[in-house]
Amino acid sequence: MIKKKLLIILLVIVSLIFLLFIIRLISPKEIDDVTPGIFCETKYLEKSDILWVIPDFDNTAISENASWCKHILSLNKTLGMHGIMHAYDEFLVDRNNEYLYRGIKIFEDCFGFRPEMFKPPQLKISDSNTKLIEGNNLKLKMNFNQLVHKVYHCNDEPEFVKNKVIDWV
């Protein structure tokens, strides 16, 4: 009897993994860390459906780079905001409206519209920052999103990307 139970449990686990694989295969692909200061191969940008943009990486506002903004817009993708500066634990430190607005403004100056989605760097965010994001009508994307979507990073080594079975099918 115990053997049979174990077999059923194993079967359920295998089915769930398979289901997750299928969901990831058909759900929109995403790429994180899109910003002029981080090298990103165009073919990976083109393969992704959602681009997660860092507005002020390395103290360089994306809005200052008009040709980059134009290029990203020309790809015709869904764009979300990925942190403001992408500093380590950026949204574990409590931030205020002023901090958030600066990022929104840079994003808006670059692309001509306000971001509607937000994903914190390293998927780390404090409770008070969660309220700040949601209070400003930004949809917060967290772990569940990361699980059901294939997510890539701009600075991934191409060889490494090639070898990942689940990625870039």
Binding site for Zn ion (CB under 5 A): 32-33, 121
43 residue type, one letter: K
CB of 33 vs Zn ion, minimal distance in Å: 4
Cβ 151 to Zn ion, closest distance in Å? Answer: 9
Closer to Zn ion by CB, 33 or 104: give it: 33
Which residue, 40 or 132, has its beta carbon nearer to Zn ion? 40
Burial class (CB in 10 A: 0-12, 13-18, 19+), 73: middle
Measured between alpha carbons, how far is 127 from 94 in angstroms, rounded to an integer? 9
Please, which residue, 103 or 121, has the CB nearer to Zn ion? 121
In Å, how far are 47, 57, 65, 73, 152 from 34, measured between CA atoms? 13, 10, 13, 12, 10
- Kindly state the smallest distance separating residue 87's Cβ from Zn ion, in Å: 11
Shortest Cβ 154–Zn ion spacing (Å):
9
Amino acid (one-letter) located at 167: D
Specify the residue, 55 or 121, whose C-beta has the smaller distance to Zn ion: 121
